[in-house]
Amino acid sequence: MHAIAPSVLSADFGNLQREIERINLSEADYFHVDVMDGTFVPNISFGFPVMETLHKYAEKPLDVHLMIVHPEKYVERFCDAGAWSVGFHLEAVDDPMPILSLIRAKGVRTCLTINPDIDIHRLDPYLDQVDMILLMSVFAGFGGQAFIPETMEKIRYFRSEITRRSLPTLIEVDGGVNIKNAGGIFAAGADILVAGSAVFHAADPAAVVRAMKHSAE
Ligand code: DX5
Ligand code: ZN
C-alpha cells in the first residue's frame, strides 16, 4: 500500500474548509489529525471543534494521532467524532490493551505510535493487536521538522517482522516527509506517509500528494 495522509496541522485554519476541499480533490488517502495537549508534547494544536469541521467537509477517512496524556479519557469521543483510526503513544500509557479495546469496540481502527527515542521493541508484543503502527520520524510536537534518517532502519525492521509473522498490520511514518524522501521511505516498507508542511505549504498541494504517492513506482 502506498498511501498519503496530509496532516491538517499545517493547514491554513483561517480557510480550513477550502484547505480540506483542496485535499478532497487530490489523490490523498486520508486526513491526518494531530491532537496535542501541551503536556505529552510542548505544544497545543486543536481538539473537537476542528475535528467536527474535518468530519463535516472531509471526503477521506480521518486518521487521528493523539499526542496526549491519558488517551483512555478521550479515545471514544474521537471515535464518535468520526475518526477512521485512532492512535496514541505507547510511552504515554501503562497498558495500551484496555485502550485499544475501547477503540475497537467502537468499530474504529487502532494504531500505536512511538517517539524516535523509544525502544522499537516495545512495539513488538502489539504488532498483532493493532491495525497499524505509526513510527515518528521526528519528535512529536511540531510540523516542519527534518526527517530523522535512523527511522529508515526501523521501518525495515517492522516490515520484515510483519512479513515474517504474516500480519496485516500497516506501517505509517510521520514527520519530515517530502517529495525527495518519500520514495525511499515507501521502498523501506512504509504503507502510509504523513506529510504536513510539504503538502500544505506548497503552491499546488495536489501535485505534491501525487508526486509522493507515486514516488516509489
Ligand atoms: C508532529 C505531527 C506530525 C506533523 C508532520 O507532532 O505528528 O504529523 O504534523 O508535519 P511535517 O510533515 O511538516 O513534518
Ligand atoms: Zn502526526
Question: How many whole angstroms from 5 Cα to the centroid of ligand 1?
Answer: 11
Catalytic residue, candidates 29, 131, 174, 191 = 174
Average pLDDT over residues 33-56: 98
b/e 85-116 (16+ beta carbons within 10 angstroms → b) = bbbbbbebbeebeebbebbbebebbbbbbbbb
Ligand 1 binding pocket includes 10 (Cβ within 6 Å): yes
The closest residue, in CA terms, to atom 10 on ligand 1 is 143
- pLDDT bucket at 217, cuts 50 / 70 / 90: confident
pLDDT of 109 reads 98
Q: pTM for the whole thing?
A: 0.97
Mean pLDDT, residues 61-85? 98
Judged by its nearest atom, the ligand closest to the C-alpha of residue 200 is: 1
**d(C-alpha 143, C-alpha 163), whole Å:** 31
Per-residue pLDDT of 75-88, as tens digits, reads 999 999 999 999 99
Which ligand is nearest the CA of 143, by number? 1
Q: To the nearest whole number, what is the mean pLDDT of the chain? A: 98
pLDDT in tens, 122-169: 999 999 999 999 999 999 999 999 999 999 999 999 999 999 999 999
**Is 42's C-beta closer than 6 angstroms to any atom of ligand 1?**
no
CB atoms within 10 A of CB 33: 29
**Ligand 1 centroid, distance to 179 Cα (angstroms):** 15
Q: Which residues contact 191 (CB under 8 A, 6 or more apart)?
A: 1, 2, 3, 132, 170, 171, 172
User: Could you give all domains of the chain from N- to C-terminal order, each with its CATH number?
Assistant: 3-213 (3.20.20.70)
Q: What mean pLDDT is predicted for residues 54-74?
A: 98
Query: What pLDDT, on a 0 to 100 scale, did the predictor assign at position 91?
Result: 98
The set of cell numbers assigned to 121 is 521493541
The answer to whether 128 is a known catalytic residue is: no
